Structure 1
Amino acid sequence: MSNTVTKKRPEYRNIHVTQILKYRLPLAGKLSILHRVSGAILFLALPVVLLPLFDKSLTSELSFQDMQGLVSNPLVKIVLLGLIWSYMHHFCAGIRYLMLDAHMGTDKYAAQKSAGVVFAVSLSLTALFGLKLFGVF
């Protein structure tokens, strides 16, 4: 007879809404959720924010100047910065998912590393475009 004690395997059950804040997702899971969120933000912002601004910029020189005045408002710039982040994150994560679809980087270590790269690149690009948006350079 063996005196070894076997460790009981953990049971994974569906989590309740109250447990969401305590649940720890891996980086790739957080990336996936934010990819969906950024896509929804872009989808909802297209008819409300992006197309009207684009229309104002092309209609006439006077409406372009009106649009410039509107975009110079700091609150509008913060909204645009959020849209810039949404686009950059969605674009970079989309490239990662295309690579995963091509069976590149599907092992656990590579997937975790590529998720970190997506966060680093998308946030860096957002910061770069944000500096340009706020007139730093």
Structure 2
Amino acid sequence: MSDLKSKPRREFRNVDFQLITTKYRLPFAGKVSILHRVSGALLFLSLPLLITLFAYSVNPFGFRALTEGYLGFFVKFLLLVVLWGFMHHLCAGIRYLILDLHIGMDKVTAQKSAKIVLGVSLALTLVFAIKLFGVI
């Protein structure tokens, strides 16, 4: 019997390790996926804040305190951040539902749909920001 040894296989990695930093370009679809998870966590963690703000807004004195002065701007900014989280999570969720139907699975279409998701979510957030801060 012959004693055959197989050669060790070479490893190919996408990560180029340098002394200080790691160079790795995440694809745009990967960035949108990470933002989808971040926006979901943001929505979940902001629920107590939103419930508290709703409880204050039901009371006329609490509503006045929330809408006046610096606190009013701070509350609007927090609502805008939560609104971005909702818009991005909604748009990316629709993208993932379409991907689950095996539509747009190739690399080019997936990259385009990821860019569309980011663009639409930012555009919707901008529209709501203009309405929220009373520019129009």
Which band: TM-score by shorter chain?
Answer: 0.7 to 0.9
Q: Kindly name which structure, 1 or 2, has the bigger radius of gyration based on alpha carbons.
A: 2
Identity, in percent, stands at 53
- 1:82 offset after TM fit, Å? 1.3
Stretches of structure 1 lacking an aligned partner (at least 5 in a row): 1-8
- 1:123 offset after TM fit, Å? 0.4
Within 1, Cα distance between the matches of 2:97 and 2:69?
A: 37
Contact 2:99/2:105, CA 8 A, preserved across alignment: yes
- Cα deviation digits, residues 88-115 of structure 1 (max 9, x gap): 1111001101111111111111111110
State the match for 2:39 in structure 1: 38
Matching residue's letter, 2:54: F
State the match for 1:122 in structure 2: 121
Contact 2:92/2:117, CA 8 A, preserved across alignment: yes
Contact 2:66/2:72, CA 8 A, preserved across alignment: no
| TM-score, length basis structure 2 | 0.78
Answering whether residue 83 of structure 2 is matched by residue 81 of structure 1, we say: no
Matching residue's letter, 2:46: A
- Count of residues in correspondence between the two structures: 125
Within 2, Cα distance between the matches of 1:71 and 1:103?
A: 48
